[in-house]
Amino acid sequence: MRIPDLCLIEGCLRVAAHNGDHDLRPVEAWDFFGAADLNKINKAGYATPRGGDKGAYQNHVYRNNKVIVPFEHLDYVDLTQYADGYVVRLFPDQYFESPGVVRQRFAETGSPVVGRDAFVLYRSHASLEAFPPLADWEVRWLSRDGRPVARRGNRAVDSGEYVLRLSNAGATRPKRYEGPPQGIFAPEYAPAQTNYECQAMLSWLIVHARSSPYTTSQALHLKAILDHSGLLGDRLERAGVTRNGLSICPLCLRVIDYEELHKSVDFSQVDGLLNAALQVEGATRSTKVNLFHLEPLVYEALNHRPTSVAWGHATCNTLLGQRHCYSLAELQEAGRKIGFLDEDDELVTFGWISEDFKMIRSPHGAVWVQLSDDMSADEQAASFDATQDRPLAPPAAEEHEQ
């Protein structure tokens, strides 16, 4: 079936000879989706950090928005990657040396300036009392064209120096939430076109879920966009995102059933997560299959990219944590086999291991994931009982027998 030609005038990705305006990011490419799938694709384009309000984060806004960069991450973050702007978040004890005395660092050239490209976030009554705002400071507020506005948006300008996110702490310390959200969680940032390409990729993978109600013939415009961006071909199979054309979970490599995209997750059925069901029962809105990143979202790089997104099981996401999800092809190409010596001292290999020792896969893709790193010398020392100068461990076997 012939893929339609794209317009490409001024970068337009609509079908050639279209009516109306040009569009760099036409969502009409997946407008054949039902409401539930349209909603899932929209949510995939949002930055939604857990517990974001307490940190003055925006929730459920698109990823191409102003970001908050924590001061403690500033030395190893490339601020130029945030094309939609940034603001530095400071805690009171980071900014103040003592009440009313600003640390010397903030007088240096190139340091963030509170009220311009930085703000101070108060998250407890204790911090507010220990390091109160300076006399001429005011709570952050927004304006547009010189007029105060309630919500951030195009042309909104920030004024003020600090934000309050104080929880209720007794009758004399009521909850105080003052100042608007300041931006999104920086690791979730993506430029507008990148974010769109991620949504297009995820839409393609919905079409190719097992028992999907959609056909490839409905998605020819979508296919043309992805092909134009170089996102199809054998890349998907090699990355462990599809197998034989069907969408799979990149960690466990099981085929994604379409219904899993919308059914609620049940953690109680997963080995190693037996307590999780108690934690989320009646509270979670997570589905069995969610947005999955092959590379973890970090401050050092923008990893929300179309080559790094897929659909994966929520339980697999939990097990993977902040690790790169190595595909079987990646590990085989690296050639680091792993095995053991049998009773005849013969080496028996059973899979391949990543160079960072965090993942092993068998020839058929069974996966082992490192759940914790080895303890450092300091951590090992801390595990000793200081009073008895011995490890905090169960009694030895012979002690049980006495």
Residue 205 belongs to a domain: yes
**Which residue range forms the structural domain that includes residue 372?**
326-402
pLDDT at position 383, please?
55
Mean pLDDT across the stretch 119-137? 96
Per-residue pLDDT for 377 more than 70?
Answer: no
Residues 101 and 207 in one domain: no
> What pLDDT, on the 0 to 100 scale, is given for residue 393?
43
Q: Name the nearest CA neighbour of 182 among 70, 68, 85, 92.
A: 68
Q: Classify residue 53: in a domain, yes or no.
A: no
Neighbouring C-beta atoms of residue 153, cutoff 10 Å: 11
Q: Which two tokens stand for residue 222?
A: 């979508």
Number of domains in the chain: 3
- Global pTM exceeds 0.75: yes
- The answer on 79 and 29 residing in a single domain is no
For 162-186, write each residue's pLDDT tens digit.
999 998 877 678 889 999 999 999 9
Co-location of 121 and 161 in the same domain: yes
Last residue of a domain, which of 149, 182, 215? 182
Question: Are residues 288 and 198 located together in one domain of the fold?
Answer: yes
- Say yes or no: 229 and 154 in one domain: no
Q: What does the alpha-carbon distance between residue 96 and residue 209 come to, in Å, rounded to a whole number?
A: 54
Do 198 and 308 share a domain, yes or no?
Answer: yes
Pick from 182, 206, 241: which residue ends a domain? 182
Indicate whether 49 pLDDT > 80. no
Q: What is the mean pLDDT of the chain?
A: 88
**Inter-CA distances, 50 with 45, 185, 188, 214, Å:** 15, 10, 12, 32
Q: At 24, list the tokens.
A: 């760099």
Give the pLDDT mean for 209-231: 96
Each residue's pLDDT tens digit, 351-367? 999 998 999 999 988 89
Distance separating alpha carbons of residues 209 and 190, to the nearest angstrom: 25
Written in H, E and C, the secondary structure of 171-192 is: CCCCCEEECCCCEEEHHHCCCH
- 245 and 174 part of one domain: no
Share of the chain above pLDDT 70, in %: 87
Tell me what pLDDT residue 396 has. Answer: 40
Q: Is 70 exposed, middle or buried (0-12, 13-18, 19+ CB in 10 A)?
A: middle
Report residue 378's pLDDT band, with 50, 70 and 90 as the boundaries.
Answer: low
Structure tokens at 32: 């054949």
- pLDDT for 95 equals 97
